[in-house]
Amino acid sequence: MPNITMLNIEDLRKTKLAPYIESCLQHRAPDPGFHAMMGHNIDLCEAMFVAWSSVFNKGRIPHTLKEVIRVQLSRAVSCSY
């Protein structure tokens, strides 16, 4: 049973998270569920998105390392995707 509720993305689009959500939908990462869960704390959600974007969209990390990070994160939460 989940310990946290998922917020409605449309409601979150009315907050300062709107540009981050749009970017996520455009890049198809991170999943909108990221915001639906993290949106309980708007400031933390914003900081996490900025960090994500810095690493995955603007950083100089090699693509192979990004894939390793994605696989490790997937395994950490038992995601079969």
- Contact by Cβ (8 Å): 35, 20: yes
Sign of CA dihedral 1, 68, 9, 19: positive
pTM: 0.69
Using CA atoms, how far residue 79 sits from 7, 33, 73, in Å, is 20, 13, 8
Reported as a single tens digit per residue, the pLDDT across 3-51 is 888 899 999 999 999 998 998 888 888 888 888 888 999 999 999 888 8
Per residue in 48-73, pLDDT (tens digit) is: 888 888 887 787 888 898 889 888 88
**Which of 48, 39, 40, 37 lies closest to 6, judged by CA?**
37
